Structures are given as C-alpha cells and as structure tokens.
Amino acid sequence: MDSKGYIAGFNTRHVNVYSVKLRIASILAGVMIAVIFTFIVMGVASYVYGDAMSTSFILLILVFVLLLDIFQFLAGPYLVGRAFRTRRINGEDPGTIWILQAVEEVCHYNNEKVPAVYIAEVSIPNAFAYGTPISGRRLAVTRGLIQILDRDEVKAVIAHEIGHLKHHDVALLMAIGIVPTVIFYLGYMLLFSGGSSRNQNGYNILVALALMAVSFIFSLMILGVNRMRESCADMNSESIPGGPEKLQTALAKIVSSTPVTGIGRRRPSGSSFSNMLLFTDPSSGERKSHERLLEEWKAMKISRLSTIFSDHPHPARRIQALERIK
C-alpha cells in the first residue's frame, strides 16, 4: 500500500462522506418524486373518473407511457451512437488502444467490469456513459476530448463516467424521467376528454393546466437529481491516484475549449436526455485559459437558483467540491 492508501489497484481510503451524502440525497429525491407522483395520479384519476375507474385510468396512462419509455430506453444506446458517431475501440488500432487501457486501469481501481469502449467522432470535447441490459454497458470519449487532455486527465474523466455506471445513473434517469411525461398526459387527457358528468365544468381546464405546471416542476426536480448524480460521479475521481486534481484541470480545459456559439464546429445533435449523459454541458464554453478559469471558479459564489434550469452543476461548484477532497 502506498502513502495515499492505494493497494493492489484498489482505493483503501474511507469512502468520501460528501459522495455518500450526494448518493443518499439523489435516492431520497427519486423516492420523493415517486411518492408525490403516485398521490397526484391517484387523486386526478379519482377526480376525473370516480373511484371505480381510478385503477383502470391509472393503468391506461402508465402502460402507454411505460411502453414509450421502454422503447426509448432500449433504442437509446443506438440513437446516441448515431448522434455522436461512435466507433468501438479495439486492440488493433494503435492510435486509440491507450484509451481502452485507461478504462481497464480505472475499472481495476473501482473493482468494476470493463464496459465496451467507444470513441465518438465529434470535435466537441466530452465523454458519456450509457447502455442497457441488451446493448451492455458502454463508455465513450469524443475525439475532441483526447485532443485537448493529457492521459491522466482522460483517466480522471473516465473515473467520473465509471461512477455513473457504478451507480446505475442511466437507469435512474429513465425511471424518474417517466414522471413528468405521465403527469403531462394526465392533464392533456383531462383537457380533451369528458370524464364523469359531475366534472363537466371549467374546473377541468384549471386542473389540466395545473397538472401541466406540475409536470414542469417535476422536470425541474429531475434536473436537480441529475446535478446531484453528476456531483456524485465527480467524487468517484478519488478512486484513482491524483484523480480530483486531474478532473479539475480536465473540466477547465473542456469548458475553455468548447465554443460558446458552436460556429465553425459541428455540435452533436441529440435529445435533452442524451445531453444529460455528457460529462459537461456542451453549451458551457468560456473563452478564457483553463488556468484562469480554475482560479476564478475556486473563489466564485454561485446561487442555487442560478442553475435551476441546468442539467449539470455549475463548473465552479464542481471545482470547489473537488478541491475539498484533493
């Protein structure tokens, strides 16, 4: 065992308390979303169709949206691969074999099975982890990422992505992502269907609009869960030697190298869900050196409300959290 607590490829230090708190908070947030969602669905179903029809109404909505969600979940890896032009890395390409070796090393530190490793042929520097039981676990880094980071920084980003795979974050996002969709459909059906005779009045419209507003609120809550899971994945950089510091410089380099407007460079297309898979928000570029960004972020005060519509934490928050565990 060395002085930093690493032995036989495994980090023997105590589990980071901040990481544990983030993980617990994200799980509790998911449970809270599910509980509140259940009460809303049952209440609205009872209001519209009466107690006798509540179960049938709930099942109708849930089955419809669940089938859509399952289809998106199963097709997701292939749609993401197409959007980001991914190509699997194998041992025959001397130019990318080191990426596969880096993933194997990080997985060794984490006692995790090595996922399929891909390179995404896009110039925007980023990385993402994804997959389903059918496609298997996958990890991709973009061509732009390996062009601007050194190999230790790439390893730190990989440790972040392995953190997502360890915590089953993609499945969590898909599971709770169904909630605002179901609530929106409840409002839509109430707005355009009759319901029972006792509810044939203007209150139906008010309730429908309220449900659509609640769907929006749930979407904000899911963004909050995503920010927590991103912060938790950052903490997994501690699983490799020098990971937190290297992840700081990697994040600063990525943001400083990402064009603010995307002019002159092809930005990968995709859904908001695929953007949530990325290591960092592709629209967060700043035209400053990464050294200057790091120093500014370490001292920056960020309001919680300023990131309420973001699917990633502000880089300053991430840098400051990493600074605490370095």
Q: What is the DSSP string of 209-224?
A: HHHHHHHHHHHHHHHH
Examine the residue annotation and report whether 296 is marked as an active-site residue of this protein: no
Contacts of residues 13-19 at CB distance under 8 Å and 24 or more positions apart, as own/partner, are 13/238, 16/235, 16/238, 16/325, 18/235, 18/321, 18/324, 18/325, 19/232, 19/235, 19/236, 19/238
Tokens of 302: 């960020």
The one catalytic residue in 104, 153, 161, 245 is 161
Beta strand 116-120 with 136-142 is parallel
| Dist CA 137 CA 162 (whole Å) | 10
H or E element, residue 118 = strand 116-120
| Dist CA 149 CA 152 (whole Å) | 8
Q: Which residues of 269-288 are buried (b: 16+ CB within 10 A; e: fewer)?
A: ebeebbbbbbbbbbeebbee
Catalytic machinery residues: 161
